[in-house]
Amino acid sequence: MLGTKLRFGAFIAPFHPLDENPTLAIQRDLELVQLMDQLGYEEAWIGEHHSAAYELIASPEIFIAAAAERTKHIRLGTGVSSLPYHHPMMLADRINQLDHMTRGRVMFGVGPGALSSDAFMMGIPVAKQRDRMDEALDVLVPLMRGEEVSRETDWFSLVNARLQMTPYSRPSVEIAVASQVSPTGARAAGKHGLGLLSLGATTSAGFNSLAANWGIAEDIARENGQTMDRSRWRLVGQMHIAETKDKAIEQIRFGLEKWIYYFKEIANLPMVPDDFKGDPVEAYLALGQAVVGTPDEAIERIQQLVDESGGFGCFLLMAHNWARWEDTRRSYEMIARYVVPHFQQLNVNRQASMDWVRANKTEFTAQTRAAVGARIVSHMMEKGAENIRPEIVAMIQGAAAKDQAPKE
């Protein structure tokens, strides 16, 4: 019996350094989603950010609307919508509209907002971001199911609020909560029985938190009469794949140092240690936070994540832009060709078929030769051997003589 099919996708913040044209950078993000759709990836999650220059997409909903018109199969999620930045009714209405426009391909990732600078510009106290996420989620879940909601908080009001259109997806668009090291996301997911987006799963802190955070989510879910579904658990990891490890390492020298600079000097996210020093590529790889190498190394790391977590539904590649575009494309292609089949058991029946034919090759060959020989003999009896190659005639005559020889 085949096992559970692990899905694959990408988490596209995105990350674009200041030395390139931002218009073309966003266009390339769209091209990446198109490529993923063609290669059979199942999901793409698009971020929301408003400052710090690298993460350029301000509205994942607009991006998703454009990407949906360019793709056929891939599901598209907000990765994530920063709930304290939006009135819940307005956000719910936009996501619900996308649900209809994409015929159910949209997903709703939520979080408190990653960049403190974003909240600062909007006058939102950082200390209140997580509380406001929880308050928004309390009304978004019923709103997305088409229910009527009234609620009064210190930052939004809802009075007999209801979406005009019932959801295309039933009971609603799938909702997933971002989680990293703290239990905030896990508790919110558990309270409402939602999916979980574990960011930085290949980092040491993220890896060590996987089982603990899922356990927290399950505990909170039980307390609230909910259940957690591992198929709706996504893990985000850093990878770049090439034909050889040396080639992969050389390729990421193009952009890794700029990415490190962003997280070390600009963003308030714990992706790079404060005491990070030395050759950027060698030092970062020494941290063990990323797989930069071959498909076999990618398979090994993902299997570690499966074992540590106890099982999850989808592995998302962090879209980091460490390599040139052509090398990035090749990495996604190699993962689709050589890594995905391992976890989706795509070649199990092919292998079984090959093994079966190989084990019975002698019998099958004998039957084929006998059938072909019988047809040749039939032709020779009717038309003679004039147009038959001499070596074939000799083979047929030899076989006939052998059959007629007395048995000892």
What does the angle CA 23 – CA 119 – CA 30 come to, to the nearest 5 degrees? 25
How many Cβ atoms sit within 10 Å of the Cβ of residue 261?
15
Task: Give 166's DSSP letter.
Answer: P
Q: Residue 367 burial by CB count (10 A; 0-12/13-18/19+): exposed, middle or buried?
A: exposed
- Per-residue pLDDT, 329: 98
Q: What domains appear along the chain, each with residue ranges and CATH number? A: 7-351 (3.20.20.30), 360-404 (no CATH)
Residue 250: what are its φ and ψ, rounded to 5°?
-65, -35
Range list of H helices, 109-255: 116-121, 129-144, 184-192, 204-223, 245-252
Using CB atoms within 10 Å of the CB of residue 176, give its burial: 0 to 12 exposed, 13 to 18 middle, 19+ buried: buried
The β-bridge partners of 293 are 241
Alpha-carbon span 41 to 81, nearest angstrom:
22
In the block, tokens 């032709």 appear at 379
* pLDDT for residue 146: 97
Q: Which residues contact 141 (CB under 8 A, 6 or more apart)?
A: 172, 175, 192, 194
* Cα separation, 404 vs 206, whole angstroms: 76
Taking the C-alpha atoms of residue 68 and residue 49, their distance in angstroms, rounded to an integer, is 21
pLDDT values of the chain reduced to their tens digit, one per residue, 408 residues: 788 899 999 999 999 999 999 999 999 999 999 999 999 999 999 999 999 999 999 999 999 999 999 999 999 999 999 999 999 999 999 999 999 999 999 999 999 999 999 999 999 999 999 999 999 999 999 999 999 999 999 999 999 999 999 999 999 999 999 998 789 999 999 999 999 999 978 776 666 788 889 999 999 999 999 999 999 999 999 999 999 999 999 999 999 999 999 998 898 776 777 777 788 899 999 988 999 999 999 999 999 999 988 999 999 999 999 999 999 999 999 999 999 999 999 999 999 999 999 999 999 999 988 888 888 888 888 788 777 888 877 777 676 666 666 655
CA distance 89 to 215: 31
- Identify residue 279 by its one-letter amino acid code: D
Distance between CA atoms of 197 and 80, rounded to whole angstroms?
A: 9
Cβ atoms < 10 Å from Cβ of 246: 10
DSSP one-letter string for 14-59:
----TTS-HHHHHHHHHHHHHHHHHHT--EEEE----SSSS---S-
The confidence score (pLDDT) of residue 269 equals: 72
Q: Of 102, 51, 44, nearest to 78 (Cα)? A: 44
In the prediction, which pLDDT does 395 show?
74
For residues 139-169, one letter each, b for 16 or more C-beta atoms within 10 angstroms of the residue's C-beta and e for the rest, the string is bbbbbbebeebebeeeebebeebebeeebbb
Q: Closest Cα to residue 75, out of 49, 104, 100?
A: 104
Cis preceding-peptide flag for 139 (omega within 30 of 0)? no
Closest CA to 151 of 134, 164, 168: 134
Distance between CA 113 and CA 133 in Å, rounded? 9
